[in-house]
């Protein structure tokens, strides 16, 4: 006891020093702490949270160094603009900083984390696509059937279509209800639940990985990472919106939306009372497509692709159901499917050889020169 009394002043001094050190280093940017509300207790040190999640603080824009020797911006440090300083903003409605190390100007830009239905690589509504060539087209498919959206040696993306045929119509109105990814020897699926009455605050997404259910906690920026691959799924809102990332291969922005009464009135879908046809709004961003890529959407990223849809009409239709129909969400058995993960490991896709002219603009946004996009 006597020994404890002798050292207690020294212990107290040490604790005070450590406490002062923690407080002084809680905010590395020396921003003043926000004032406390009356009768409120002090909040935990903000150092426990990532910078973008600290309320009332300001942090310098985030940046990244492009480290791929093949990229156009190799070695450059690209900083996010002030309008969107963070890659993952705390506000789910705020635009996020996006950096592409293959952009001509090596600049970051602001982008919504949800799907942009007018942006390249999107698929929304009855499904309306914007291809890799920038051309808008519709692909109706058929109700309760599966179609390949993208088929490459190292990647397969299928979609399940739901729909209904209103009285007096000659075709189904269809929507994408689920996506299935195949890569290496893994599978991942995400699907919208069937629901009668839509509630924005109720999550309607289901996931599986290698045929096993996956649970991703609700909440903005809540995430899940596959234990044996580079797949990461992160919520971009409290519920019903996610982003899927497969490193160096693709990113997908996905949201679940219903057919609203206004949609039903405008298009006369004749939606029944027991199903609001919850479906997916999707936008893809690819980084490693080959020049042989196939699929309803994938084919539009080929440099030699000549889009057959009629221009200037209200609904330009892309056919090809017989080419891209698959037997399930995670199968690559369509007539034009080329997914062969064992072959992609052993072979290297030949580089694209394109003759450039004054009437053709070619840019490569994919790593290793694969997936060059050309526009006249």
Q: pLDDT tens for residues 345-369?
A: 444 443 333 332 333 333 444 434 3
User: Exposure string (b/e) for 285-298, b if CB count within 10 Å is 16 or more?
Assistant: bbbbbbbebbbbbb
**C-alpha atoms less than 13 angstroms from C-alpha of 277 in its C-beta half-sphere:** 24
Beta-ladder partners of 345: none
How many whole angstroms separate alpha carbon 63 and alpha carbon 79? 4
Q: Is residue 24 over pLDDT 80?
A: no
Choose between 136 and 268: higher pLDDT: 136
- Residues contacting 174, CB < 8 A, separation 6+: 126, 127, 140, 141, 142, 143, 161, 162, 163
Handedness of CA 123, 160, 321, 125 (dihedral sign): negative
For 48, the 3-state DSSP assignment is: helix
Q: Is residue 92 over pLDDT 60?
A: yes
Q: What is the pTM of this model?
A: 0.75
Span 2-19, mean pLDDT?
A: 48
Q: Count CB atoms within 10 A of the CB of residue 56.
A: 10
Q: Is residue 120 over pLDDT 60?
A: yes
pLDDT class of 167 with cuts at 50, 70, 90: confident
Q: Is residue 75 over pLDDT 50?
A: yes
The two structure tokens encoding residue 312: 């200037």
How many whole angstroms separate alpha carbon 267 and alpha carbon 265? 6
DSSP tag of 22? H
The two structure tokens encoding residue 317: 């239709």
pLDDT class of 70 with cuts at 50, 70, 90: confident
| Lookup result for tokens 């406490």 | 19
- What is the structure's pLDDT at 102? 81
pLDDT class of 311 with cuts at 50, 70, 90: confident
pLDDT class of 199 with cuts at 50, 70, 90: very high
Cα distances from 98 to residues 85, 87, 156, 314, 330, in angstroms, run: 10, 7, 25, 33, 30
pLDDT class of 58 with cuts at 50, 70, 90: low
Span 163-186, mean pLDDT?
A: 92
How many whole angstroms separate alpha carbon 56 and alpha carbon 53? 9
The two structure tokens encoding residue 368: 């290793």
Nearest alpha-carbon partner for 186 in 230, 222, 216, 217: 230
How many whole angstroms separate alpha carbon 17 and alpha carbon 255? 50
Span 131-160, mean pLDDT?
A: 96
- Residues contacting 276, CB < 8 A, separation 6+: 195, 196, 197, 198, 258, 259, 260
How many whole angstroms separate alpha carbon 253 and alpha carbon 98? 13
For 110, the 3-state DSSP assignment is: strand
């Amino acid at each position: 006891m006597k020994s404890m009394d002798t050292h207690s002043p020294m212990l107290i001094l040490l604790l005070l020093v450590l406490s002062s050190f923690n407080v002084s280093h809680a905010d590395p940017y020396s921003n003043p702490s926000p004032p406390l509300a009356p009768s409120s207790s002090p909040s935990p040190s903000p150092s426990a949270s990532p910078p973008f999640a600290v309320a009332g603080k300001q942090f310098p824009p985030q940046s990244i160094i492009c480290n791929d020797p093949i990229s156009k911006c190799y070695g450059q440090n690209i900083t996010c603009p002030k309008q969107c300083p963070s890659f993952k903003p705390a506000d789910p409605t705020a635009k996020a900083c996006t950096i592409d190390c293959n952009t001509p100007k090596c600049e970051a830009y602001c982008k919504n984390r949800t799907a942009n239905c007018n942006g390249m690589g999107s698929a929304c509504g009855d499904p309306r696509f914007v291809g890799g060539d920038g051309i808008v087209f519709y692909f109706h498919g058929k109700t309760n059937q599966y179609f390949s959206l993208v088929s490459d040696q190292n990647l397969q993306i299928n979609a399940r279509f739901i729909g209904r045929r209103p009285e007096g119509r000659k075709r189904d109105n269809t929507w994408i209800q689920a996506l299935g990814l195949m890569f290496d020897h893994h599978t991942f699926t995400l699907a919208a639940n069937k629901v009668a009455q839509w509630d924005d605050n109720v999550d309607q997404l289901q996931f599986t990985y290698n045929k096993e259910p996956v649970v991703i906690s609700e909440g903005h920026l809540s995430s899940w990472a596959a234990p044996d691959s580079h797949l990461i799924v992160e919520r971009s809102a409290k519920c019903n919106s996610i982003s899927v990332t497969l490193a160096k291969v693709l990113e997908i922005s996905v949201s679940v939306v219903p057919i609203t009464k206004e949609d039903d009135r405008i298009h006369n879908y004749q939606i029944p009372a027991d199903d609001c046809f919850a479906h997916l709004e999707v936008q893809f961003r690819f980084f490693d497509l080959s020049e042989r890529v196939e699929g309803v959407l994938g084919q539009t990223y080929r440099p030699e692709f000549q889009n057959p849809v009629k221009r200037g009409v209200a609904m330009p239709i892309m056919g090809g159901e017989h080419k891209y129909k698959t037997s399930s969400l995670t199968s690559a058995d369509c007539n034009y499917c080329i997914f062969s993960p064992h072959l992609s490991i052993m072979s290297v896709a030949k580089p694209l050889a394109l003759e450039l002219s004054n009437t053709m603009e070619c840019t490569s946004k994919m790593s290793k020169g694969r997936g060059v996009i050309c526009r006249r």
